[in-house]
Structure 1
Amino acid sequence: MASTSVDQIIAAFGGWRGDTLSRIRGLILEAEPDVVEETKWHKPSNPLGVATWSLGGLICTGETYKDKVKFTFPKGSVLPDPKGLLAVGAGVRRAIDIREGDTLDADAFRALIRAAVALNAAPKSLKK
């Protein structure tokens, strides 16, 4: 379900960054219509917070920067990623940096979202 707080982030950035966040948000909602969308981690330097998507646990976050929009998957290193979308990260986290003019394989991204939800729903013994 779309969140008005994420709408505010999209509106605040506008331009290619707002468009990118909006487009990827649409892919997330297509992949998992029951996802919980909200903002977290509000602070003086980022009063609007960070867009987050969860279902049975955190799936990913979306953040805007001057030169990119970053989607971080907290369990990205254990997700199947045959197209190599999750190229940025350290430890278990992996992220996708989208810069102005970049294209993203929508089918591969939706598959990552579904895999993250499946991992959240898996028994703890399978989450490694």
Structure 2
Amino acid sequence: MAQDWRVGRVDDIRSLIKAAEPDVVEEMKWKKPSNPDGVPTFSLDGLICTVETYKGKVKINFAKGASVDDPTGLFSAGPQAAVRRSIDLHEDDELDPEAFKALINDAVRVNRTR
């Protein structure tokens, strides 16, 4: 059986987050029967983001996304939300690695200034 594409995508996202912010802390939270492994959460001076898998996508939720500078328009979900912003990635979607790492860096900056 072929590996689920979402597993590889989460691994890629994890690598980009750690490349952007080597001191990031990853934890698995919110384990439940429908999600026995939990949700990967990434923190540095506060929560940066979570990476969740759904049937047809991987969702990267930025805890303080509304305060994060997104000059390349990576946020694709929650553009009007007061606090959070998200990136929804489907199987064939590309993620610009440099733009994503810049989002991670800015999310840490936001954590450090609040």
Which whole-Å CA distance do the structure 1 matches of 2:8 and 2:38 have between them?
A: 18
Range with bigger deviation, 37-46 or 20-29: 37-46
SS in 2 for 1:60: strand
Q: Distance in 2 between matches of 1:47 and 1:22?
A: 17
Partner of 1:117: 108
Report which of the two has the higher share of helix: 1
1:99 is the counterpart of 2:99: no
Q: Distance in 2 between matches of 1:59 and 1:49?
A: 17
Residue 85 in structure 1 maps to residue 74 in structure 2: yes
Q: CA deviation at 1:88?
A: 0.4
Aligned length: 110
Partner secondary structure for residue 104 of structure 1 = coil
Paired with 2:93 and 2:110, the residues of 1 have a C-alpha distance of 28
Q: Which amino acid aligns with 2:69?
A: P
**1:48 is matched with which residue?**
37
* Partner residue of 1:24 out of 13, 19, 23: 13
TM-score (norm. length: structure 1)? 0.82
Cα deviation, residue 44, structure 1: 2.2
Runs of 4+ in 1 over 2 A off after TM superposition: none
Question: 2: distance between equivalents of 1:74 and 1:42?
Answer: 19
Distance in 2 (alpha carbons) for counterparts of 1:54 and 1:118: 12
Which gives a bigger RCO, structure 1 or 2 (Cα 8 Å, sep 6+)?
A: 2
How far apart are the structure 1 equivalents of 2:24 and 2:17? 8
Give the superposition deviation at 1:37.
0.4
Cα distance in structure 2, aligned partners of 1:44 and 1:24: 24
Identity of aligned residues (%): 58
For 2:56, the equivalent position in structure 1 comes to 67
Q: Quote the residue 1:36 is aligned against.
A: 25
